[in-house]
Amino acid sequence: MLAPVSKFKAYLQLIRFDRPIGTLLLLWPTLWALWLAAGGVPPLHLLLIFTLGTFLMRSAGCIINDLADRKFDGAVQRTRERPLVTGLVGPGEALALCAVLGLIAFVLVLFTNTLTILLSFAGVALAACYPFMKRHTHLPQLVLGAAFSWGIPMAFAAVRGELPAILWLVFVANLLWTVAYDTEYAMVDREDDIKIGIKSTAILFGDMDRSMVGVLQLLTAMSLFLVGLRFELGLWYYLGLLLACGLFFYQQKLIRERQPEGCFKAFLNNNWVGAAIFAGLFLDFWGRGVN
């Protein structure tokens, strides 16, 4: 039987506490939406709810993913040491932890409004079905994109109490970005995934993978440019977008040889893309004296 400290470490590993990149990639677009919906700094209680809720739901999503993939992860170099594979955490324990995290997240949503609460059920459904898409379609990244973008309509609902049509432009921009960076991530495991029968956009795109990632990045940049126009954003925002485009070019350099290490670095670099866009938004509204 594991000592309490070892068991606790295994739980932290299960929820990727030591790998916050997933939480950050989920958090940045949620922060974009909160600032856009509020026209500046959002109410503090909503900022706290969405920040903590992002961490909780990403953690729960990791557990669902590992439960779904536990019979495959042992055959993949990157995932063979996950707690459910090694037996450090049992499936029942993982389910219990997932339920606790989901319950806490739901309690947080109860402090918003009815529309946000209703939207949260769709968010849970998207997060729960994503891991199983890898068995049935080469486009699981599209489902992940929808799941990772669902905080955007929820943020608008929480701030404004409605879903203005303009928010879906932000949603599409983030969905495209998510498919791009998760394709980079899938390029890391492509050879192992082919052997065990897991599907991904990296496998679907084949030799066109780098070009398709580039197209998705271009469409992301164009969508974010339109976001700036529709929300009447200023110079700081476009400087942030320009920096994000520079990071996309850097990622293309990293994935040029399709080496797993370079592809993984490109994936991680997307944290700075999200941060650049948020910095541009923050400075733009701050420069207007909106707080």
CA torsion sign for 189, 265, 65, 278 is negative
Tell me: the pLDDT tens digits for 94-145? 999 999 999 999 999 999 999 999 999 999 999 889 888 988 899 999 999 9
* Rounded-to-5 percentages of helix, strand, coil across the chain: 80, 0, 20
Q: Of 245, 205, 243, nearest to 222 (Cα)?
A: 245
The conformation of residue 42, written as its DSSP 8-state character, comes to: P
Tell me: the pLDDT tens digits for 3-62? 676 889 999 999 999 899 999 999 999 999 999 999 999 999 999 999 999 999 999 999
Res 172 pLDDT > 60: yes
* pLDDT at res. 177: 98
- 150 phi and psi, to 5 degrees? -70, -20
Distance CA 100, CA 128 (A): 15
Tell me: the pLDDT tens digits for 187-206? 999 998 898 888 999 999 99
Tell me: the pLDDT tens digits for 45-103? 999 999 999 999 999 999 999 998 888 877 787 888 889 898 899 999 999 999 999 99
Contacting residues for 41 by C-beta, under 8 A, at least 6 apart: 35, 47, 285, 290, 291
